[in-house]
């Protein structure tokens, strides 16, 4: 009876040691996704409340995860260009460099130079994206 209890306890400990790192990894990913969702929600709320010129100028948009409305907050980006960015992203995968925006119809080098201070690529989110792809 004691041996059976000890064996069951050993199995529980071993499983805990195996599953704990997996659980921690999942927790980190959920935290990162929550931060992205929170930032997106904050931008959406400010978009609805009309952002001031100063707020728009200081806004930085992650072009790999931004919604249509978030992309439209970038200087010089309207609904058509924002949709082209999303279409490009869906077809080619995430942007690795913001300069790739110049590959999109309607974004020449001059337009890119005006918007480049407002666009970012969050490397942490990009790593989560590639980890998700590799796990599938």
- Per-residue pLDDT tens over the stretch 64-81: 999 999 999 999 999 999
**Residue 86 confidence (pLDDT):** 96
Q: Which domains are present in the chain? A: 2-135 (1.10.150.320)
Residue 12 or residue 36, greater confidence: 12
**Residue 59 confidence (pLDDT):** 78
pLDDT over threshold 50, residue 49: no
**Residue 122 confidence (pLDDT):** 84
d(CA 6, CA 43): 54
**Residue 11 confidence (pLDDT):** 59
**Residue 27 confidence (pLDDT):** 47
Contacts of 127 (CB under 8 A, 6+ apart): none
**Residue 18 confidence (pLDDT):** 60
């Amino acid at each position: 009876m004691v041996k059976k209890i000890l064996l069951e306890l050993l199995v529980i400990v071993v499983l805990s040691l195996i599953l704990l790192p997996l659980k921690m990894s999942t927790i980190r990913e959920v935290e990162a996704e929550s931060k992205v969702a929170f930032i997106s929600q904050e931008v959406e709320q400010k978009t609805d409340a009309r952002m001031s010129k100063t707020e728009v100028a200081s806004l930085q948009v992650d072009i790999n995860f931004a919604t249509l409305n978030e992309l439209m907050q970038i200087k010089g980006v309207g609904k058509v260009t924002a949709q082209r960015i999303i279409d490009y992203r869906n077809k080619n995968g995430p942007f690795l460099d913001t300069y790739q925006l110049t590959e999109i119809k309607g974004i020449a080098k001059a337009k890119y130079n005006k918007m480049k201070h407002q666009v970012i690529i969050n490397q942490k989110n990009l790593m989560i994206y590639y980890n998700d792809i590799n796990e599938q």
